[in-house]
Structures are given as structure tokens and as C-alpha cells.
Structure 1
Amino acid sequence: MNKKKITSGIFIGILLLVSISSSIWYIDKYNVKPRIIDVYGDSYYEMGLMYGSQVKNIVSGIGEVANYLEKGLPLLNGSTLEEIAQGYLAYTPNWAIQMMWGIANSTGVDFYDIVILNAFADLAQLLMLMVYMGCSQFAMINNTYHGLGPIFGRTLDYPAHNIFDNWQIIVRYDPPNGNSMIGVTIAGWVGFLSGMNNKGVSMGISQISSEEVEYGCPMGIIITDGLMNYNNTRDIQQYLTNGSISSIYHAGAWCYFITDKTGDACIVEITSYNNHTNWHSDVSTDHLVITNHFVSSEMIPHSFVPGPQESTLYRKQVLEEYLLIKDNFDLKDAVETVRSHYDITINGDPGQGYENCICNDGSSGTMHAFIAVVAHNYSLICLTNPYRAPFYLVSFTEVIGPVA
């Protein structure tokens, strides 16, 4: 594929593709009660039908813009949207394809438009226009107390946040085969941005930058596939890195973070061609910080605002020294840790472009925060800026909140 021929027109169109929705289920931007849907069935197609029936009003505008893209914008080497979608479908698990068919038939949206939506993040990387599109941070704390066990925390920051604000949902899956799951996602996605399963495993993702991207399985589907089929960190790591358990071909450049209820945790930085795993074992004082401002030397650091390497190291130092190292870490501290990422009173990175800021200016760009208490099968979720908005406790059977 000759990437030099790719233009920004299709990318702008895809932004429209996911922003045309007249369904807004909240008024107060900073008091968002999560929209939670339960999805189950005797087949994945039936699950797709159930899913689609609950998000129809949100995704119904996709077809109109997809038709505009097809007729009016230059695409990848002259490919049609259907041909682009086929590039991802060739690597997508059958269960996900069946669910997307169910969503398409239930919503009345063209199947290939649903596929393009599910591959949006990876396609944006393929278009090489993602430099200012994403900033994520997540961490795992092992020195918890009161029997909580390991805590997984993750935020999703997105400077183009107005596109997806009203599309965020929480999905609880009970599939015909495999583990039950809770995850935060985009309406119409069958995959998760952050999630956990009922076996005590949680998984999230951060973006990294690399030119080693091409067609493959969309990253959200990879997260759900891993949580559905595997019960511990080690098995998911092997799955991600084409190990002995399974083989998955990656479409983009992503940094996966996995932990389970034993405290076994790892980072897997992976592109379509290479992967690097960094293991972290359960030690009483162990803590783990990852941002897409700081990744291993094997990958290219991705930064929300371009800056020198010293800038990325400073962010990591601030998170480690001021936010995460604390004795007797409890659930309240986990919430405060996530919120501290957006506390503009903390001394920030002068090279980043915002004064007194860790990641952004604390007022825009944040889509959600996800905290999983993996040993006890519940999560705390906030669907907007966590520094200003409440969290809700979401288990496999209950929704309680706001709780923090």
C-alpha cells in the first residue's frame, strides 16, 4: 500500500461518520449516568441483534455519511469502503463478524459501515493521521489492602472527544461460549476499549506510534476476544504475541496492559510486525505506570503534544512519585489517583504546552475512566472527565451510584 497517496479527506469523512447521531442521552456533561446494555443470546448473531436494538438511534446516521464517502472522497488507493472493510474482516474472528451482522440487521445500517466503525481507530492509524488523536494512561496497583487485591485503572483521553462523547456505552456480555465480560465501548463496536471478565482478568489499551501498521484485527475486538477466551495474564500475553495458544494479526500499533486477580501483570507493545513484552510480578511494593507518552525503546513514543524525550520521562516520573506510591492503597485512593491525572494544580510538564498539567487541560478531551477490582468482579466507571464527574459501581448483576 502506498501511504503517500492517502489523503486527509477520508479521515475527515470518518470523523463525520461517527459523529452524526441525534441521540444524546444526557444534558449535564459532567453528571453522566452510564448507559448500560446487557447482551446475551444462544448465538453471536442473536447477541448482535439484541445489541443493535439498543443502540439503533445512536448509530442510525452512519449509512448517510458512508454513502457520501463512497461517492465524494478519495480513498485508500482508490479502494471502496467495502474493500477497505474486507481488509479487516479477513483477520476478524467469526464471532465478531456474526455479531456485526446482527447489529447491521437490527439497526438497518449497512454491514460494511458497521465494520468500518469497528475498525475506526486502526484505520485512523493506517491513514497516518493519528498523531493528535489519542492520549491514554493506565496503571495497576498491587499494594492494596482490605482484601481488594490488584486494581486496574485506565483513562481514555481524546482531543476529538466531541465525536464520541455521546456514543459511549457500557456493555455486559454473556456469550454462548466463553467468559462473561464488562467493558466500556463505542455504540456499534463489538469490542471494548477497556474491560474485565468474570475470571478476574482486566485489559486495556494505549496508542503508540509506528509505521508498522496495515490491515488486521481491530484492537477493540482483540481485547474482547482475549477476555472472552482466556483466564489469566499469561495466556492473553501468548495470544497477543502469536504464541502457542492462538494466532492474531494486529492491524495497528498498540500497547496492551493486562492484569489478573493474582497480580500477574504485563505490558505488550505490538505492531503488525513486531512485539515487545514487559512483565511485572506481584510484589508488595510493586506499582506499574504506563502512558502513551512513555513506552519501551523498541517502539516510538506517542505524545499528545510533541516534545523532547525529557518531557515524556517527566510525565512518567510525576505519575510514579506523586500519584501512585502510597502505603495502604485502597479503592478511594484508586479513584483519586485517576482524578489526579487531570488535577491542574499538580506541577506539570513545562514542555507539554499546558502549564501545571499532566495530560490535558482538565476540561476537554476525556472520554472515560475505568477502574477494575478484578478479584471481586466489579468495576468503577465514569463516562466523562473523572476529575469533575461521578463514578458508578458496575458489577455483572448490579449498577450502583454515583459512589464517588
Structure 2
Amino acid sequence: MHKGNKILRSFLWVIGIIAFILALFIIYLLRVSKVRPPVVEGNYSELKLQRAQLDSGFYVIRNNWFRKNKAGLYEMYIEGQPFERGVINGKLSEELVKEQESYFTAQIHKMIPSPLYLRFLRYFIGWFNKELPQYVDSEYQQEIYGVSFSASDEFRYIGSNYQRILNYHSAHDIGHALQNMKLVGCTSFGTWGSASEDSTLIIGRNFDFWVGDDFAKNKIIAFVNPSEGYKFASITWAGFVGVVSGMNEKGLTVTINAAKSKIPSGAATPVSLVAREIIQYAKNISEAVAIARSRKMFVSESFLVGSAADNKAVIIEKTPDSIAVYDPNQNEIFCTNHFQSNEFRNSELNVKQIENSASAYRYQRLTQLVRQNGKNSVQKTVNVLRDYKGLDDADIGLGNEKAINQFIAHHAVVFQPQELKMWVSTSPWQLGEFVCYDLKKVFAQQGLKENREICDTALTIPADSFITTETFRRYASIRNKESKLLEEGSLAPDSIIAINPNFYNSYIIVGDYWFKRKEYAKALPYYQQALQKEIATVEERKRIEELIAECQQP
């Protein structure tokens, strides 16, 4: 008995030591993961500013304003010093700042339903980004800090308002590590000279960053007049001051495309803030390259930079360690999710990306469409961005990652830099109207005192007729809800196939439905049929083959 008590005491002592070490580790994580806000000069008088509502959904603060247009896009104009801009940005769009964070966190909970893992992820991201402020310019720290005063207190369990809003600017970068979840997979291209109908530069892009349809519905066209640098326009969302697609008053455009990256080992400058610095401070390609070269990033990225001054576009390819500039030396340029420069083309990661992902296929389809269209135009660019077919117009199923239009894009946009015009997509996805903005006219306004349209309605590109078809209606009604509808019994397994018969994932969804019920004989033919379709990635093909093998086990 005495010996048993001694063993028990020893065991409890070991458990106590482990618990103590674990507690110290958690305390350490909590301390090092705290990010202090930047020091703001003055007395924070900007926080006393109040927005005035001049009409339903139309708000102003001084010359700054915020409204929703008839096409469903939010529009915002902000000016001033960094902290002032951030405060005004947040106050004008306060409801959307809160709503956007709710949508973002809700989608993260869907993708990672384990509370324990989410808690670990919170501490990991906090630790990972503990040095983030060292890599973010003071100007953008202050702007983000200003926005954070309008963030919700509901999510303080994740971190302070400032820390959360700052960390969200790394969301695109973190998406690199989650590419199997199809968070990032963009397409962009440009034509000029003999490749364009009027010889001017035309840039088109799909921003395929998907964290749920709710997150994508509140797009903001932000027109920014900073106290330093150039005026610019950006397609963005509430609470976000980085740039993923934008054009400045000098006709310089920037769009970003994710490339294959190793899992990051530490914080650096978020891609969106590198793009923001380029759009705010560069007037030509050489200045854009110099800015990109000066910043350390923790993921690999392609920046497609178009320049009215140079009447051409190049791709700045940047890794955490190196930089290269890809110039095709012709009048067209294409970009998906792999590198093309001599410096990076044959790197191990890039070769794997080309061989295993949907990037190379999508690149071929993009090239095929642009060249068969002849001399390019804005309308033809929109047509390419809307394309949901495979090579040679093959039906590869709606929503296939190999298609240019995967029905996940946050936005699509077409830039005409010499004219300082841009066309922005409206819902649904790239198939709705493309609304035109003339930056010269927008920035010539001294505020907006009445709730009126600022887009050039005469240049609106009509919606694609595909959205009126029964095929699209049926697809849109079940998209991303197939598994849930099956589980609820509100949709029969074969209905999934009938609605999208050429999409390999339709068969996987039905196969998984039977597999979970251990009805392997019913699951097997669906997995086998999936293999006969155009599968997006090598990884997905391997998973199907593994499931087939499991179903065939005696």
C-alpha cells in the first residue's frame, strides 16, 4: 500500500511539472503574441469625427463619403493623413467592418470545426505574427489602427481589435498554406501594341480568393487620396487597407497571383501591403520593381504590373529569398499560379506546382482564348474572364479549378491604364454587369454632397446571358451545399450528378456520401466515374484512387 502511494505521488508530481511547464508556455505565447498599436501623433482628435447620413446608406465625413451603387457595389472615397484615413474608413463602413469579420471567422469555423485546434491556431498565428509590425510600414500601421476602432469587440478572444485587423492583412498569405482548400488561385493577363485593337494596354484579372460567398458579397471600390504618394483605386472589402487589384492616377496597375510556397517560418511584409506600396508610390515599372525588391515577404507571389507610362506589363516574381522580373518581350502576358522567369521556372517547388496543380492547364486555356479572339478589347477581356470551359471548349463541369471562371472569385476587373478606366464585376461572380469607373472624373470631385451614381453608366458591360439559363439556376441553387443537402435528405444522390454531370467532384460527393455509410459497393462506381472526368489536381486524383482501393478491399 505504501509503495502504491509513493508511485501515485510520483505520478502526480510528474503531471504537475508538465502542467506547470505547459502553463508557462501558454503565458509565454500570450505575452509574445501581443502586438502593441503604433504611436499616433496628436491627441486622437480624429476619433471624435462623426459621419453624417445624407441619404439611405449614404454617409459623409468632410470630403470623404461612402455609398452603395445601383449595381450592388459599395463605393468609398477617403483622403488625409494615415491615422485619419483609417479612422474615417472605419467610421464610414463600420457595419461592414463588423459584418466582414463575422463572415470571415464563420468560414474559418466551417473549415476548422475543432475548438481545440482553433485555439491552438489562434496562439500559433499570434506567435507567428509577433514580429509583423517590424515589417509593416508605420503609415500602414497607423491606417490599420485607425480602422480597428470600428471593429467589433465580439472577437477580442482572438486578439485586440488592432492585432486582429493587422493579422487579417496576412489572410491571402496564409491561404498559400491552405491551397488544397482552394482559397487562392487567380488568373490575370494583359495585351498591348499589336495585340490590342487600339494598341493600348488592357489588363484583366480574376481574384479567386474564397472564404465563403458571404465574405465576397460586400465588395468595396475604394478611391484613396493619401497625404503622400499617388491617388489610387482598389477593389477591396471593409477593414482592409491592402491592395489585391488596383490602379493609380499615373495608370500603374497591380494585381497579385499566389505561387507555390513553403510553409512560412516567420512574419514578413504581407503581400497585399507590398502591392499597396507599389500602387501608392510607383509611377512606372522600374519604380514598382524597386519597391518590391525592398520588401521581405514570407510567401511567393506574382505581381502583374501594368504601366501606362511604359505601355506594357511585366510580372514581378518574388519569393521570401529572391526576386525576378518576367518580361515576355512580346505584346501579351499571361499569369496563373506558377512562375515563368528563367530564375524560378525550374525550381523544385515551381516544377511541382506545374505538374500537380491546375495552374498549367488554366494557363493553356487562357492563352488559347486570348489568341483565338484576335486583337483584344475590353469586351473580349471580360469574355475571357467569364469563361468556364476547358481546353478546346470542353465541358469540364461548372466550378472546376482548371477553368478561368471557377465561380469562386471575390471579384474580376479590367483596367485600361492610358484611359484611367476600370470595369469591375458585379454578382453573380464574373457573370453580372461590369461597371465602369473613370478615375479622372472620380478624383476631380470635391467630395460628394448628393447620393448619385459616379460610375460611367454608358460604358457598363451587360451581364452574361448564361445566368438566365436553367443550367446556371440549378447549379447556383446547390453550389457548395451538396453534401449538406444530401445529409438532410432534401436532395437525392443522382440529382447532384444530373445538375453538374461533367464535374468530377459531383461524383466524389456522392461517392463520399455512400462511403461514410460503409456502403462501399454503392460508392465504388461513383469514384470510378470521377476518374473519367477532368480532375483539377494530382492530389485529388490520388485521393480518388485510394478510396477506390478501400472500396475494393474484401
Percent of aligned pairs sharing the same letter: 17
Within the candidate set 322, 338, 346, 1:274 is matched to: 322
- Whether the aligned pair in 2 keeps the contact of 1:259 and 1:265 (CA below 8 Å) is yes
1:47 correspondence with 2:94: no
Task: Show the counterpart of 1:376.
Answer: 419
Within the candidate set 327, 336, 350, 1:291 is matched to: 336
SS in structure 2 opposite 1:210? coil
Per-residue CA deviation, residues 24-64 of structure 1 (Å, 9 max, x unaligned), is: x9xxxxx95211111112x1111001111122112226499
Superposed displacement of residue 250, structure 1:
0.9
Superposed displacement of residue 124, structure 1:
3.7
Residues 274 and 147 of structure 1, relative CA distance in 2, 3 Å threshold: same
Higher relative contact order (CA 8 A, sep 6+): 1
Q: 2-side partners of 1:293 and 1:102: how far apart? A: 36
Task: Show the counterpart of 2:133.
Answer: 89
Q: 1-side partners of 2:417 and 2:171: how far apart? A: 29
Aligned partner of 1:382: which letter? Answer: S
Aligned partner of 2:246: which letter? Answer: G
Superposed displacement of residue 108, structure 1:
5.5
Q: 1-side partners of 2:289 and 2:92: how far apart? A: 33
Superposed displacement of residue 100, structure 1:
0.7
Per-residue CA deviation, residues 90-130 of structure 1 (Å, 9 max, x unaligned), is: 100111101011101244661111112222122343xx323
Task: Show the counterpart of 2:185.
Answer: 135
- Whether the aligned pair in 1 keeps the contact of 2:409 and 2:430 (CA below 8 Å) is no
Residues 146 and 363 of structure 1, relative CA distance in 2, 3 Å threshold: closer
Q: 1-side partners of 2:86 and 2:290: how far apart? A: 28
Residues 248 and 172 of structure 1, relative CA distance in 2, 3 Å threshold: same
Q: TM-score, normalised by structure 1?
A: 0.77
Task: Show the counterpart of 2:251.
Answer: 200
Q: 1-side partners of 2:125 and 2:386: how far apart? A: 43
- Whether the aligned pair in 2 keeps the contact of 1:51 and 1:103 (CA below 8 Å) is yes
1:263 correspondence with 2:311: yes
Aligned partner of 2:421: which letter? Answer: Y
1:218 correspondence with 2:270: yes
Residues 335 and 54 of structure 1, relative CA distance in 2, 3 Å threshold: same
Residues 393 and 192 of structure 1, relative CA distance in 2, 3 Å threshold: same
1:399 correspondence with 2:444: no
* Count of residues paired in the alignment: 355
Task: Show the counterpart of 1:15.
Answer: none
- Whether the aligned pair in 1 keeps the contact of 2:300 and 2:320 (CA below 8 Å) is yes
Task: Show the counterpart of 2:432.
Answer: 389
Task: Show the counterpart of 1:16.
Answer: none
Please list every run of 5 or more consecutive structure 2 residues that lacks an aligned counterpart in the other structure.
Answer: 1-56, 58-69, 154-160, 443-453, 462-554
- Whether the aligned pair in 1 keeps the contact of 2:98 and 2:152 (CA below 8 Å) is yes
Correspondence 1:2-401 to 2 at 5 A:
32-41=71-80, 43-60=81-98, 62=101, 73-75=118-120, 78-79=123-124, 81=126, 83-107=127-151, 110-125=161-176, 128-131=177-180, 132-142=182-192, 143=194, 147=198, 149-162=200-213, 164-211=215-262, 213=264, 214-241=266-293, 247-261=294-308, 262-281=310-329, 283=330, 286-292=331-337, 295=340, 296-298=345-347, 300-301=349-350, 308=355, 312-340=359-387, 342-343=388-389, 347-348=393-394, 354=397, 359-360=402-403, 364-396=407-439, 397=442, 398-401=454-457
Superposed displacement of residue 76, structure 1:
5.8
Q: 2-side partners of 1:140 and 1:248: how far apart? A: 25
Q: 1-side partners of 2:93 and 2:376: how far apart? A: 38
Residues 46 and 346 of structure 1, relative CA distance in 2, 3 Å threshold: farther
Structure with the bigger percentage of helix: 2
Aligned partner of 1:272: which letter? Answer: P
SS in structure 1 opposite 2:381? helix
Structure with the bigger percentage of strand: 1
Per-residue CA deviation, residues 338-392 of structure 1 (Å, 9 max, x unaligned), is: 223x347953496xxx489673495731221011100111100014455421100
RMSD: 3.4
Residues 358 and 326 of structure 1, relative CA distance in 2, 3 Å threshold: farther
